[in-house]
Amino acid sequence: MNLSGKIVLVTGSSRGIGRAIALKFASRGAHVIINYVKNRNAAEDVVKRIKIMGRRSIAIKADVSDPQQVRLLIERCINEFGRIDVLVNNAGIIRDRTLKTMSFEEWDSVIKVNLYGTYYCIKETLPYMIRQGGGKIINISSVVALIGNFGQANYIAAKAAIIGLTRALAKELAKYNILVNCVAPGFTETDMVQKVPPAILKKIVSRIPLKRLAHPDEIADAVIFLAENDYITGEVIIIDGGLSLAAL
């Protein structure tokens, strides 16, 4: 797929990995829809940067854990741009706690945003992709879905389910020329990771063979690769600096 002129929706794209993905798509010629929940200023800043590149962009507020808000998000995308060529399901939250002390709300909120949000966005986008003759769906999971991590049972359950969902839909949707893939980042230089206590973060980095965190642009590169390729579907690309190998 030549990305020039393509319409891309990236959920949770006002900051972090989502922001890097959105800007990377714009640099390759795509028009990008920015989605956010709280930080409108950050979302508008991404839109501004995309427009400076000569691409079209808008910021749409929507909580992906709410199916009605997702429906309105997708409808507005279609009304404004006419189609969605690439959907990147990036929106996610963490509520870290051991299962013993985790509340029902902490479990439920993470599952709703990370897993249900991915499902809702795909469900609402699917009819339009089928009608237009194809598209790309790229889901953002996590390396911890494959290797486990202390205190993240809710997050890992959601991210592991996303991998299963990716593979199931790759088989279901191939006949419509819709390719579904997944990127599983390791620990990355984002606001979320920077909130980890320094001592714990130092220990995490020591376990990574490359001895550093990923940069958001390095995750974005893999998403672009999947968006441009027309014969990869049902795959999970792990970008973790070798962390998962060290866990074996």
Q: Active-site positions?
A: 155
Supply the DSSP string of 152-190, one letter for each residue: -HHHHHHHHHHHHHHHHHHHHHGGGTEEEEEEEE-SBSS
Q: Per the structure block, which two tokens stand in for 241?
A: 């600096």
6 phi, psi to nearest 5 deg: -75, 155
Q: Cβ neighbours of residue 16 under 8 Å, at least 6 residues apart? A: 188, 190, 191, 192, 216
User: Are residues 192 and 14 in contact, defined by beta-carbon separation less than 8 angstroms?
Assistant: no
Query: In Å, what is the CA distance from 196 to each residue of 107, 189, 203?
Result: 20, 11, 11
Q: SS3 of 2, please?
A: coil
Q: Per the structure block, which two tokens stand in for 102?
A: 């985790």
Q: How many CB atoms lie within 10 A of CB 104?
A: 7
Report the distance separating Cα 116 and Cα 187, nearest Å.
23
Q: How many CB atoms lie within 10 A of CB 229?
A: 14
User: Are residues 30 and 220 in contact, defined by beta-carbon separation less than 8 angstroms?
Assistant: no
